[in-house]
Structure 1
Amino acid sequence: MSTPEIMTAFSTGLAAINLDEDAPTRRGPEAERLKRASATIYDLAVERASGHELWNWGMHDQEVADEVERLLPGFGRFGTDGFSEQLYFQALRGVPAEFAEHAGRTVLEVGCGPGEGLNFLSRLLPETRFIGLDLSERAVRRANALLSRGDQLRFVHGDAEQLPFDDGAVDLVINVESSHTYPDLGRFLQEVARVLRPGGHFTHIDVFTRQRSAHFQRLATSTAGLEPVHEVDLSEQVRAAIRRRMAPDSHFHRALARERMSPLARRIAAHSRTVMFGGVFAGYRPDRTIRLLHRLGVVPWMRGLPMRSYRQHVAVRR
C-alpha cells in the first residue's frame, strides 16, 4: 500500500474500533489490515525519530515528579521534559506493591514502541527483568540495538493479541497508550490473563473515546482470571503535560527549533506533532497559518478521534 492508503486504512480502522457502539471488535481481514497499517506507521515513525523527547502524551503531577526526582535526580533535565517518564512511573506506582517487591520479578510491556519507557523503568528497578514487545519490527530492532542489556532488558517482536510467552511467565504486564489500536481488545485481555502468574498484576493506561471506555469496562469485569483492583482518571494530569509542551518556550519547541528545516516546515511539524501527542485533547486549536494551509490542501486537519478521558486501570490475576 502507498503511504496515503496506509494512513486511510489506519484512520478508518481506528474509527471503527473506537467509535462503534455495538461491535467494536474486529477480526479477520479487517483486523489484519489495521495491524499492518499500524505496524507500518510506527516503523516509519521510528525511522524518522530524531531523539528521545516524546514517547507518549505524558502527564504532569508535582507529587509524581517529586517522587521520580528523589529516585533519579535530574531525570527530566537532559534530553526530555520528564512528562513521558511521569506517565511510566504512574503505571508502576499504581500497582499495589512496594518498589522493592519487584526485585527478581519479570515485567512485560506490551506495545513498548522504541523502548524508552521500559528503559526508564529498568533504571528504577535494576534487579528486575524487563521484556518489551511491539508490533513494529523496526522499533524492536532499534530498541535492542540501543537499549537492551542482557537479561535485564530485552525486546521482542510480537502481536498483543497473540503473546509469544508461556502461561504464567510474567509477574507484571504494563500497557501504556497502545491498546486503543488493538482490533480485538478482549483477546488482548485474555492473553494478559494467560501470561500472568497468579497474584501478578496488569497496569493499563490509555486514552478513551466514550464508546471504547464502555467496551473496556465490560471486558474488564468479564475477562476470566482478571479481577479489577482500581481505576484512576488521569485526564487533567495528562492535559497539564500537553499544555506545558505547547508553551512557546517548552522543551518540545526548543528541540524542534534545533531541527534543520524552513520556518514554515517547522510550523507544520509543530502542528502535526502537537496533534499527534494529544493537543486536541488539551484544547489545541491550529493558528491562522495552519488553517489557511489546510484550506489550500497542504496540511491535513488531523482532528483525531473525540477522546473523552485518559485513564489507568489496574487488575490482579486470580
Structure 2
Amino acid sequence: MSATPDVMTAFTSGLADINLTESAAPRNGEKAAGMKSASATIYDMAATLSGKGDLWNWGMYDRELAEEIRARVPGFGEPWTDGFSEQLYFLALRDLPIDLDDYAGRTVLEVGCGMGEGLNFLSRIVPGAQLTGLDLSPKAVARASATLARGESLRFVHGDAEDLPFEDGSVDVLVNIESSHTYPDLGKFLREAARVLRPGGHLSHIDVFTKQRTATMRQAAKETEGLEWIADNDISDRVRAAVRRRMAPGSHFRTMLGKQRMNPLMRQVVAHSQILMFGGMFAGYQPPSTIKVLSKLGIVPWMSGLPMESYRHQIAVRR
C-alpha cells in the first residue's frame, strides 16, 4: 500500500504553497480540498503500516524537562523510548499557567492527534482530565480508538481543524503540536480554537515554521478576535538537539531500527527517510556516502523538505 504519485504531488505542492507564501489569505476551494484529501490519505497509510512507534514528532531534548517527567512517570525513558517526542507534549502543558496537579475535571482537546500516542502520554501526566483527540485521518482515529481510548477520559474523533465539531466554550485547553503547517487556512483554525475555548481557556500551539509561515502566523494571530497571545518561545535549539541525538550512532532510534528484519542497505534507506521526515534538514543532517550514490542513481531522494527556520511554542488565552 502506497500513496499514488498524484496524492504525493498534491501534498508536497500544497505544503510548499502553504509554507512558502507570505500571506494570511485563506486557501480554499478545490486546492485546499485537494491538500486535505491528500493529507488524510497519507496519514491513513501511516496509520495502517506503522507499528507502535517512538517518533510522533521531531521531539525536543531538555535534561531538566526529562527529570520533571521522570518524577511524574517513574521509569520514563529507556529502554522503551528516547523520550524526545514525549518531552514536546509535556512542554505543551507544563508551560501553561495551570498547575499540572490542577487538571482534574478539565477538558483537554488535541487537534491533529495522529495515532493518539501523544495524548495517551498526557493522560498519565494529568490524570483526572477529560482528553479528546481529533484528526483528519479516519484510520488514525480508528486505530487510536481501538488501541488507546478509555471511555470519557480519553477518546478520539474524526474531524477538520478548520471546522471543529465541538460546542462554543466547551474546552479548557487546546493543544496543537506539529500539525498546523499543513492547514490551508491557518486563520480559520485559530478562529475555531477561540470559539471552542472557554473564557480563560488556553491554546498551546507548537510547530515548525518557514520564514514566510512565521509572518503568516503572526498576521493571523493578530486578526483573531478573542485570543490574547501571552508567549512566543523559540525552542529550535532543543528540537535540533533531539533530532541530532536520534541521528547519532547507537541511538535508541538506530538500535530499534537495527532489530528490524531487513538487509543493511534497506536499513540505511529507511533510516535516511525517517531522518528526513523527522527534522534531519533542520538539524544539519548530511546523508552517508551510500545514500548519496543511490540519490545520484535516482533511487532515493538525497535531501527534501521545506527551508524551516524555527520551531516555536506559542500560547494564547481566551479573553
| Counterpart mapping for 1:81-230 below 5 A | 81-230=82-231
CA, structure 1 residues 188+22, in 2 after alignment: closer, same or farther (shift >3 Å)? closer
Q: CA deviation at 1:10?
A: 0.5
Q: CA deviation at 1:154?
A: 0.3
Q: Which stretch of structure 1 is more off in the superposition, 14-23 or 122-131?
A: 14-23
Counterpart-to-counterpart distance in 1, 2:47 and 2:130: 24
| AA in 2 matched with 1:222 | E
Q: CA deviation at 1:96?
A: 0.9
Q: CA deviation at 1:46?
A: 1.2
Query: Aligned residue pairs: how many?
Result: 318
CA, structure 1 residues 32+79, in 2 after alignment: closer, same or farther (shift >3 Å)? same
Counterpart-to-counterpart distance in 2, 1:292 and 1:309: 30
Task: Using structure 1 for the length normalisation, give the TM-score.
Answer: 0.98
| Counterpart mapping for 1:235-250 below 5 A | 235-250=236-251
Query: What residue is the counterpart of 2:304 in the other structure?
Result: 303
Query: What residue is the counterpart of 2:54 in the other structure?
Result: 53
- Match of 1:101, SS state, is coil
| AA in 2 matched with 1:20 | T
| AA in 2 matched with 1:294 | S
Counterpart-to-counterpart distance in 2, 1:278 and 1:57: 6
> CA deviation digits over 1:115-137, x for unaligned, max 9?
00000000111100000000011
| AA in 2 matched with 1:192 | A
Q: CA deviation at 1:78?
A: 4.2
CA, structure 1 residues 16+24, in 2 after alignment: closer, same or farther (shift >3 Å)? farther
Query: What residue is the counterpart of 1:26 in the other structure?
Result: 27
Counterpart-to-counterpart distance in 1, 2:278 and 2:3: 24
- Match of 1:300, SS state, is coil
CA contact (8 A) 2:3 2:45 kept: no
Q: CA deviation at 1:22?
A: 3.8
Q: Which stretch of structure 1 is more off in the superposition, 140-149 or 48-57?
A: 48-57
Q: Which stretch of structure 1 is more off in the superposition, 19-28 or 271-280?
A: 19-28
- Match of 2:102, SS state, is helix
Counterpart-to-counterpart distance in 1, 2:141 and 2:283: 30
Query: What residue is the counterpart of 2:280 in the other structure?
Result: 279
Q: CA deviation at 1:166?
A: 0.5
Counterpart-to-counterpart distance in 2, 1:24 and 1:54: 32
Task: State percent identity of aligned pairs.
Answer: 61
> CA deviation digits over 1:67-105, x for unaligned, max 9?
101111221124211000100000001211111222110
CA contact (8 A) 1:110 1:134 kept: yes
Structure 2 unpaired stretches of 5+: none
CA, structure 1 residues 209+249, in 2 after alignment: closer, same or farther (shift >3 Å)? same
Structure 1 unpaired stretches of 5+: none
Counterpart-to-counterpart distance in 2, 1:2 and 1:151: 34
Counterpart-to-counterpart distance in 1, 2:4 and 2:87: 33
Q: CA deviation at 1:2?
A: 5.8
CA contact (8 A) 1:59 1:241 kept: yes
Within the alignment, does 1:254 sit opposite 2:276 as a pair? no
Task: Using structure 2 for the length normalisation, give the TM-score.
Answer: 0.97
Counterpart-to-counterpart distance in 1, 2:248 and 2:181: 27
Counterpart-to-counterpart distance in 1, 2:190 and 2:90: 22
- Match of 2:90, SS state, is helix
- Match of 2:101, SS state, is helix
CA contact (8 A) 1:106 1:128 kept: yes
Query: What residue is the counterpart of 1:16 in the other structure?
Result: 17
Across the aligned residues of Structure 1 and Structure 2, the Cα RMSD in angstroms comes to: 1.2
> CA deviation digits over 1:102-159, x for unaligned, max 9?
2110000000000000000001111000000000111000101110000100000000
